[in-house]
Structure 1
Amino acid sequence: MYAIVDIAGKQFKVTKDQFVYAPRMEGEEGASVEFDKVLLFDDNGKVEVGAPVLKGAKVAGKILGHVKGDKVVVFKKKRRKGYQKRNGHRQEFTKVLIENISK
């Protein structure tokens, strides 16, 4: 059994007891969250597709912590001009444990 859920504008395929690194959300560690934008629900081959979302379907989870992703180095250069710029970025994520998928 799995579901495809829209979390903060990104789509995730989730199953029960799975960890998901979603874009940073409000909430403290240990707080429960509920996602109601379920786009697809599969129960052992019986697939239901929403238009655009399924009514009454919910995915419950628990926030395990807020983490940062790997560093991405941004390097800009203009040739023959002596211009070089180096910058880095680390995206913030929320680690969520999917506890239950209900329809």
Structure 2
Amino acid sequence: MYAVFISGGKQYRVKKNQIIKLEKLNNSPGSIIEFDKILMIADENEIKIGKPFLHGSKIKAHIENHGRLKKIKVIKFNRRKHYKKQQGHRQHFTNVKILDINNFNGK
């Protein structure tokens, strides 16, 4: 069984007990959160697709930790114009472990 949900403007396909990296969430590590913007749930026998979301379905997850990714360099450069701008960026993330996928829609 897997599900597709939205978090931070991105879509994620998850299974039970999977650990994924999401955009940073403002919850403390060790807490349990629920995602309710579920687009699709599929198991061996059937696929349920929301219009746009499946109402009543939830994904329960445990926040493992927060962190920052490796630094990337952003460089803007115009040749022969004496212009060079250099900047670094480290993206924040949250590791989340999927505990359960509940499908209450129609069952």
Distance 2:13 2:70 in 1: 22
Q: Which has the higher strand share?
A: 1
Moved more, 27-36 or 79-88: 79-88
Shift of 1:70: 2.1
Which residue of structure 1 aligns with residue 15 of structure 2?
15
Give the TM-score normalised by structure 2. Answer: 0.92
Distance 2:45 2:89 in 1: 41
Determine what percentage of the aligned residue pairs are the same residue. Answer: 39
Q: Which amino acid aligns with 1:7?
A: S
Which residue of structure 2 aligns with residue 96 of structure 1?
96
Which residue of structure 1 aligns with residue 48 of structure 2?
48
RMSD of aligned alpha carbons: 0.9
The runs of 5 or more residues in structure 2 that have no matched partner are: none
Secondary structure of 1:27's counterpart equals: coil
**Is the aligned partner of 1:71 residue 2:68?**
no
The runs of 5 or more residues in structure 1 that have no matched partner are: none
Shift of 1:45: 4.0
Q: Which amino acid aligns with 1:22?
A: L
Count of matched residue pairs = 103
Distance 2:4 2:50 in 1: 10
Secondary structure of 2:81's counterpart equals: coil
